[in-house]
Amino acid sequence: MAEWLSELKQNRAFIPEEPFPHGQLVKNGRIKHFFSLSEESFNNEFRMPCIVFTGHPSLRFGDVVHFIELWGSNPTNVILMTEPEFPCYEALSPYQPLAMKIIYCPIDTRLTFIQANKIIRDIKPKNLVLPYQYTRPFSQAESHNKQSFETMIEADCKMFPYHRKETIKLPIKSKYERLMIDSELISSLTTHQIADGVKITTITGILEAKDNKFRLGPITKSHRNEFRNQMPTRTLPPNKYLVGMIDMNELLRLLAHQGYKDVVLNKFGDKRYRIEIVSIIYPITNSFQY
């Protein structure tokens, strides 16, 4: 996975040198990791005082609960909170009174404008979608003493700023989209050979789009009921269609065989037909194969 590292760390990945500083500490035994707190080696290795690094705002599950209960009564131990969006003292309120020292050291994962502009220059996007506020200097007072790239986003590409709840149209033209078809739907398909080595099929299903991923699934009974309730005047498309050149004489013969009587065939132009069924002489079956 070296391709995800910076260039300096990529070079270290192919030589007998640890790409990360903590890798050497693990190799020298200064940092030790354990799969579970129940390991005998963990109970033999840990020493007091201890530092607990935690970032989850709840502190209600996981190994951190065990650590706080085990070491919370000793003032020489430390719990260090790294979550930037939640007040640490509220998260620790169920464990009070707590003797161990509490240190709030939030890790800010946001980018500065300088960092963001550098990334944009490196990746060279064709289009950039961003909040409208990022295209204007945040502070007019600071902008007098700083260059523009330090207080706002600048890019050589086309930028599309948007406001809250605004819908924007992007000039992204995709000729094809990847679509996943449900295995149950695939098993129900019937192919028709139209030439040597060429088969076609028609397909009807429910298209689901989520997180820019598309899936085509079968039309279930619940889908049909929902469709009828929402649009009672419309009908669902058929599961199968007639494909290829149709022999009208053979079609009329099959209709007569199924109990349709006095079938009238009307021709419109060279390729259009309309079939009128006058009467049925006996109950027909649900379907027939053409």
- Is position 192 within any domain? yes
What would the two tokens of residue 242 be? 């007639």
- Containing domain of residue 268, as a range? 248-280
Omega before 16 cis (within 30°)?
no
- Is position 42 within any domain? yes
* Residue 9 half-sphere exposure toward CB, CA atoms < 13 A: 12
What would the two tokens of residue 86 be? 């939640």
- 112 contacts 142 by C-beta, under 8 angstroms: no
Strand partners, 127: 158
Give the end of a domain, one of 76, 104, 132: 104
- 232 contacts 226 by C-beta, under 8 angstroms: no
Strand partners, 205: none
CA distances from 194 to 107, 171, 202, 203, 271 (A): 63, 38, 13, 16, 18
Instruction: Provide the pLDDT for residue 138.
Output: 66
- Residue 86 and residue 62 share a domain: yes
Burial 225-245 (b: 16+ CB within 10 A, else e): eeeeeeeeeeeeeeeeeeeee
What is the rounded distance in angstroms from the CA atom of residue 281 to the CA atom of residue 259? Answer: 6
* Residue 118 half-sphere exposure toward CB, CA atoms < 13 A: 6
- Is position 288 within any domain? no
Instruction: Provide the pLDDT for residue 286.
Output: 46
What domain count does the chain have? 4
Instruction: Provide the pLDDT for residue 129.
Output: 92
- 249 contacts 273 by C-beta, under 8 angstroms: no
Is pTM beyond 0.85? Reply is no
What is the rounded distance in angstroms from the CA atom of residue 50 to the CA atom of residue 4? Answer: 33
Ranges of residues in the chain whose predicted pLDDT is under 50:
286-287
- Is position 285 within any domain? no
Give how far the C-alpha of residue 106 lies from the chain's centroid of Cα atoms, to the nearest Å.
28
Could you give the strand order of the β-sheet that contains 78-81, starting from the edge strand earlier in sequence? 51-54, 78-81, 101-104
What is the rounded distance in angstroms from the CA atom of residue 191 to the CA atom of residue 198? Answer: 10
- Is position 83 within any domain? yes
Instruction: Provide the pLDDT for residue 18.
Output: 74
Q: Which residue has the tokens 């930028």?
A: 159
Q: Which of 164, 163, 161, 178 is nearest to 127 (CA)?
A: 161
- Residue 80 and residue 121 share a domain: no
Radius of gyration of the chain (CA): 34
- Is position 238 within any domain? no
Instruction: Provide the pLDDT for residue 182.
Output: 93
- Residue 130 and residue 99 share a domain: no
- Residue 81 and residue 60 share a domain: yes
What is the rounded distance in angstroms from the CA atom of residue 141 to the CA atom of residue 151? Answer: 11
- Is position 18 within any domain? no
- Is position 140 within any domain? yes
